Amino acid sequence: MTNIPTELLRTLIAVADLRSFTRAAQSLGVTQPAISAQIKRLQVMLAAELFDKSAPGVTLTAKGEVVVNYARRLLSINDQLLEVTTRSKAVERVRIGIPIDYFEGVVLETLVAYRASHPDFHMQVSADASESLLRDLRRGEFDLVVASDVTPTANARRSWLEHNAWGAASRAVFETDGPIPLAVLGETSLSRRLSVTALEQAGRAYEIAYVGGSLAGLVQAAAAGLGVACWAKRVLRATSLQVFDSAPPHLPPISDVHGGVYLREGVDNAALDELADMIAAAVSSQRTEDLRARIKAAVPLVRPASDAVAGRRRS
């Protein structure tokens, strides 16, 4: 019987969470070639490709996502067993919920960075739809939750505004008199609710052409031409999709999303306050970097007035 070394599973989770072999190597204190070798060894043991080489960036395959979910459960049991047998008392874990829509990547990177600088801070992270996370937070099942909604919530520890857009492989996908083909996530997905609501309010016919379980699958489906996807504008810009800032023909504008960090009622934890501020700052920083990148990319396309005048004089 084959036994999978836990260090291979930890490496897989680090790469998947940080979406980078380089950052995973830095967080684990090893070299990037060592990370690549461990992933290759794990893929050989499982006889499966865990990362999609044809997708942009570091993207899990469908089987890779399944393996990561099982790996989290296995390592959780492994760590709990060690805590029970090696410590006099159980370690208190901070329960954190992050949304499958919009902020998952940047929040995961922040959590890993925070844990690296606070080795005594133990966390258990769960990803779900924002609506479910906020409900479970009210029930006391989470200590900190990052969530998004179409309306601002007064009790958020920190909040921000996220702009949405349509993304597709080309205009041909939606330039049709027939129903708009949509690529969406499950029923609880906020992006699905936003796109369907926008089309219904505009009286535009649509059909669900693809239902996925992750952002990676959604992007791949849209890139293949199966349909149009609705998501955070800054996230779509990092993909291979064409992103439409304003509503293109046949497609209505999409509502913006209010993001926020929420703490469990009655919680008094300086570490959670610090982490909430770090998450909000990380999201804000990513939005600023995205804006700067777009401005920088646009500069060569704009010819200064002085140059234009000089050009006319030379002619």
Q: Where do the structural domains in the chain lie, given as residue ranges?
A: 1-77, 92-161+256-298, 164-255
CA distance 211 to 213: 7
H/E stretch holding 32: helix 32-46
Pairing of strands 164-168, 158-162: unpaired
pLDDT at residue 8, as a whole number:
92
pLDDT at residue 182, as a whole number:
92
Query: What phi, psi does 34 have (nearest 5°)?
Result: -65, -40
pLDDT at residue 196, as a whole number:
92
H/E stretch holding 129: none
pLDDT at residue 132, as a whole number:
84
Give the list of residues 6+ apart from residue 298 with CB closer than 8 angstroms, or none: none
pLDDT averaged over 10-residue windows placed end to end, the chain, 315 residues: 85 89 85 92 92 86 91 86 62 80 78 86 85 86 87 79 87 73 86 90 91 86 90 84 72 87 81 88 66 40 35 39
Same topology, domains 92-161+256-298 and 164-255? Answer is yes
Query: 313 in helix, strand or coil?
Result: helix
Q: Specify the CATH number of the domain 164-255.
A: 3.40.190.10
The architecture that CATH gives domain 1-77 is: Orthogonal Bundle (1.10)
Chain centre to alpha carbon of residue 213: 12
CATH 1.10.10.10 is held by the domain 92-161+256-298: no
pTM of the model: 0.56
pLDDT at residue 35, as a whole number:
93
pLDDT at residue 66, as a whole number:
92
The CA-based dihedral angle spanning residues 37, 39, 45, 46, taken in that order and rounded to the nearest 10 degrees: -160
Query: 118 in helix, strand or coil?
Result: coil
Phi-psi region of 250 (alpha: psi -120 to 50; beta: other; left: phi over 0): left
